[in-house]
Structure 1
Amino acid sequence: MVQSKFETGLAAEQKKIKCLVWDLDHTLWHGVLLEDDNVKLRENVVNVIKTLDSRGILQSIASKNEYGQVMEKLQELGLTEYFLYPQIDWNPKSQSLKAISDALNINLDTIAFIDDQPYELEEVAFTYPEVLTINADRLNEILEMKTFTPTFNTEDSKQRRFMYLSDLQRKVAEEEYMGPQESFLASLNMVLSIVPASAEDLQRAEELTVRTNQLNTTGYTYSYEELEGFLRSSQHKLFVASLDDKFGTYGKIGLVLIEITENVWNLKLLLMSCRVMSRGVGSIMLNYIMQLAQKNNVRLLAEFIRNDRNRMMYITLKMAGFREVANEGNKEVLEAGLSRSPSFPDYVKIHVTE
């Protein structure tokens, strides 16, 4: 059995997978499709696929096969809808996983790959050691692995695949749109809601801190209990953001945590889902916070902890007028310039509740 260094030990216990990529022959089904079109699904595989889907874990395919024949078979088996951006060709499996990672806009270290062939597992593990590789003989263990078991099963997670399918529609519409980017964004009829978090939001809020490390100013993660404490605290403000457009909902995609004192507000956390990276949501959320700080006549600081993934958030802070005022090891402290009145783009309707 081939194992990557992430398959066993502490790293595997802590790692949370966002997407499981399936091989097909002798993995999803018994037999080789090119040799026998009458292949049969492996025992329990449908249960694994549907349970992972209900937990908000995306799924795709990396298979060396004929695309048309595979899609016809998946349609016959009633499984086509579960696999996003399937890579069915003769490329190396590592190349297929990279294509899936790029298409879903998720990091490779949140992807798992299941295959029956030691060579294929080794090729992926060598090229991308951060990918969790699983031998197909462990299929029936997957649902019990902690890495595939989220702490909470939120409404957003149950709808995650459908949200990505809506994203596919948006991408097609954007590619076909003839005109400037801002006009396309206006055509989406977007509505961004920024509201104080409620008790019902806390499970999703915890999920966001755990899952979001790219568009995240500090990388801080908070447990449900900690978030519940912030909700009750007079020294903190906790906001959640959700986004909808004509194609459907993106769900709850943003989180803001502010530590407040009499004269200073400190932005401890600003994060958003990578699915809204190109929608300008980060700047809108920052402008809203700056507007609140102005109303309350306080200084606004923001903590930023740099890593190899969140440079976009630093740029967002700088473009909003934040400047560095302190450096504490790997933590930078920036302060907003509140002399100007924050503005919001015309292409999105903003719904806010203080």
Structure 2
Amino acid sequence: MRLLILDLDGTLWDHEDASQLVPPFEVHDDTVIDAYGNKLSLFPSVREFLEWAKDRFILSIASWNMEELVRPILEALGLWDYFIFPKIENHPDKASMILRTVEQLKSIGYEVDEIIYIDDRTLHLQDIKREIPNVKFIQMWIDVKSFEELKKVLEGL
């Protein structure tokens, strides 16, 4: 199986640190508004992309955030159930997050043949490549400019 790991902040949505949002959350279509009126919005076509990708990849998350704050946002947007063994943790070691996801998948019988990591920044890439040399990386908004374009690139891999 092919494993597609997604970052959240700046990749799936426009907010740079979703852990700063304060519940309770109000949801309007693809936008979450926190208790102080701060907004987080999904980028265009994220829902369509996830719906397409779920039949072609194992989907998971590697995000430097606090799960107790960010999971309710994903749930409110109806996105949580797309992901298997998501890692939303308050540290920058994304290589560890990805490796633990692979181990969990193997423990339930999945054979991971390919790992593709999508992030809007290259900040963690050197550490990830050191631990997982064969990971394929796509930088959102640089290598691809939209989720429609990401879909086309993934179809070509």
Residue of structure 1 equivalent to 2:104: 103
Structure 2 gaps of 5+ residues are 22-33
Q: For 2:2 and 2:156, how far apart are their aligned partners in 1?
A: 10
- The structure with more helix, counted as a fraction of residues: 1
- The structure with more strand, counted as a fraction of residues: 1
Return closer, same or farther for 1:18/1:108 CA change in 2, 3 Å cut-off: closer
CA shift for structure 1 position 108: 5.9
Residue of structure 1 equivalent to 2:140: 136
User: If the length of structure 2 is used for normalisation, what is the TM-score?
Assistant: 0.75
Return closer, same or farther for 1:95/1:108 CA change in 2, 3 Å cut-off: farther
3-state SS in 1 of match to 2:116: strand
- What CA deviation, in whole Å up to 9, does each residue of 1:179-215 have, x standing for no partner? xxxxxxxxxxxxxxxxxxxxxxxxxxxxxxxxxxxxx
What's the C-alpha RMSD, in Å, of the aligned pairs? 2.1
**Does structure 1 conserve the Cα–Cα contact (< 8 Å) formed by 2:58 and 2:84?**
yes
Structure 1 gaps of 5+ residues are 1-16, 151-354
Alignment of 1:187-336 (within 5 A): none
Residue of structure 2 equivalent to 1:41: 42
Residue of structure 2 equivalent to 1:254: none
Residue of structure 2 equivalent to 1:239: none
3-state SS in 1 of match to 2:18: coil
Q: Please point out which of 3, 18, 22 is paired with 2:2.
A: 18
Instruction: Kindly indicate whether structure 1 or structure 2 has the higher relative contact order, using CA contacts under 8 Å at least 6 residues apart.
Output: 2
- What CA deviation, in whole Å up to 9, does each residue of 1:320-346 have, x standing for no partner? xxxxxxxxxxxxxxxxxxxxxxxxxxx
Alignment of 1:86-125 (within 5 A): 86-89=86-89, 90-105=91-106, 106=110, 110-125=114-129
Residue of structure 2 equivalent to 1:82: 82
**Does structure 2 conserve the Cα–Cα contact (< 8 Å) formed by 1:108 and 1:131?**
no
**Does structure 2 conserve the Cα–Cα contact (< 8 Å) formed by 1:109 and 1:131?**
no
Task: Please identify the structure whose Cα radius of gyration is greater.
Answer: 1
3-state SS in 2 of match to 1:34: helix
Q: How many pairs does the alignment contain?
A: 132
**Does structure 2 conserve the Cα–Cα contact (< 8 Å) formed by 1:66 and 1:88?**
yes
**Does structure 2 conserve the Cα–Cα contact (< 8 Å) formed by 1:58 and 1:84?**
yes
CA shift for structure 1 position 77: 0.2
CA shift for structure 1 position 95: 0.5
Q: For 1:91 and 1:99, how far apart are their aligned partners in 2?
A: 14
Residue of structure 1 equivalent to 2:68: 68
Return closer, same or farther for 1:101/1:136 CA change in 2, 3 Å cut-off: same
Residue of structure 2 equivalent to 1:296: none
